[in-house]
Amino acid sequence: MYPKVLAMVTLERAVREIESVRVQGAKQIAVYGLQFLRQVALEQGFDERFDKIADRLRKVRPTAVVLHNCIEMIKQERKLSTIDRLMAYLSEESSEKIAKHSDRVLRSGMTVMTHCHSGEALQFLKHGHGRHGKKLSVIATETKPLEQGIKTAKELTQARIPVTLILDNAVGFFMKDVDAVVVGADALRREGVVNKIGTSLLAFSAKHYHKPFYVVANALKVDRRKDFSIEERPAMEVYRQITTAKRKSLHGIKIRNPAFDVTPWEYVTAVITDEGVMKPSQMKERLK
């Protein structure tokens, strides 16, 4: 499920794997980072160099909080068993517990809209589709500029779930036809749910059409950091999709490419975690 990290992989290569979005998603980034840090700990222990390497890794994708939380726990306990426990939790335990709550949210015959690529949201939908003969269909956004939604659509098709792929700017057109929206999260903060750019637009549209908006996230995505910033990715990710003819006319035009946005809690129906289905008010209380 995750790219394997070998002992000979250098720090700079590990950084490139995360920075290039070859390893993507808050949970996947954390597992990859933990695999690398485990090799570092085996080779040199939990010394100051370990701390510097850990800090370098968590700064690569600063918005996603899971790796940050894991590193804070490792620095407190400094044991290989701590890394192993976190990897097991992220790789299987949390997703399995989250998926079991699908029966409380999903009904047979529902059409669900989703955005970007979230392993936890996918497992939640797959579980909901397969249990007790329930049958779902999914509308997945393409998710520009890196088109992660195409990966989502392929995985849903492999799970024999009917899926329709749409452009991001078609969300409002299709929202009236769905029964619910299910998305993942990179961080859960007091301000709201941090997820792939465009998530807030799904939430605003869902609110307008009176559709429930569910967020699927493990407990390590709770984000109490005081210092927080929305990562902005290279303009080239947007620029490469513009035709060569049009690129010539863009000189002097600034391109911005934020990777995430924040959906205020008032637009969220519930957060499905490995600890249960929680109301926004419960999440906000936890984040105090």
Q: Which residues are catalytic?
A: 116, 186
Burial level of 241, CB count in 10 A (0-12/13-18/19+)? exposed
> Strand locations in 33-155, DSSP E?
111-114, 137-141
What sign for the dihedral angle of Cα 76, 13, 90, 214? positive
Q: Tell me the one-letter amino acid at 168.
A: D
CA-based nearest residue to 115, from 221, 232, 193, 11: 193
Q: State the Cα–Cα distance between residues 82 and 95, nearest whole angstrom.
A: 19
How many residues are given for the chain?
288
> Strand locations in the chain, DSSP E?
111-114, 137-141, 163-166, 180-183, 187-189, 192-196, 213-216, 260-263, 270-273, 276-278
CA-based nearest residue to 215, from 103, 94, 132, 105: 105
Cis amide prior to 3 (ω within 30 degrees): no
Residue 142's SS3 state is coil
Q: State the Cα–Cα distance between residues 102 and 73, nearest whole angstrom.
A: 29
Beta bridge partners of 181: 113, 213
Beta bridge partners of 276: 273
CA distances from 193 to 25, 198, 203, 261, 286 (A): 14, 12, 10, 8, 14
- Pair 17, 33: CB distance under 8 Å: no
